[in-house]
Amino acid sequence: MKMLRIAAGLALSACFAMLVACNSLPTVQQQFQTGCTIVNGDLAIIAASPLLNAEQQSAITNTILPANQAICKAGGTLNVTDLKLFHDSLLPAAIAIVQGVPALPNQPAILLGLQTFGPMVQALVDQLIATAVPASAPVAASQ
């Protein structure tokens, strides 16, 4: 009986520890904001690189970096349209530019930062869509 109590106590302690650990994990929004900081820095470095041709620099400086800065600044007012545009077209364009210029200093690290940001953006899109559509709302059969 004493062993059973000890085992139950250990199991309860383990469950509590797991709950505390889960509650301390960063939220999707927190992960996104961290990723934003990293990607903004990476894009700023790339934009200033003399290794990019004029078209690549223009794409980073005039389109991709401002779009990333805008979604990062938006905070609680993020919208799915801007996030999807960034995820589906602008982020892949930035990745393609970085992949195409292997001479960039820290190219593998910058590439990793950009590639890891994609799933963060998609997770935020999924979360925003899930919270915008009530669970009881009917879904059309064609979807």
DSSP 8-state assignment for residue 61: I
User: Per-residue pLDDT tens for 16-25?
Assistant: 444 445 567 7
Domain-located, residue 5: no
What stretch of H or E contains 79? none
What stretch of H or E contains 142? none
Whether the CB-CB separation of 72 and 36 falls below 8 Å is answered with: yes
Closest CA to 92 of 73, 111, 69: 111
Q: Give the distance, in angstroms, between the CA of residue 50 and the centroid of all CA atoms in the same chain.
A: 28
Domain-located, residue 143: no
Neighbours of 96 (CB within 10 A): 13
Residue 127's domain comprises 26-131
Domain-located, residue 105: yes
The whole-model pTM stands at 0.72
User: Per-residue pLDDT tens for 100-143?
Assistant: 999 998 899 999 999 999 999 999 899 888 887 655 545 444 44
Domain-located, residue 19: no
Side chain identity at 142, as an amino acid letter?
A: S
Please give the Cα distance from 47 to 82 (Å, whole number): 21
Q: What total number of domains does the chain contain?
A: 1
- Residue 11: the pLDDT is 47
DSSP 8-state assignment for residue 133: S
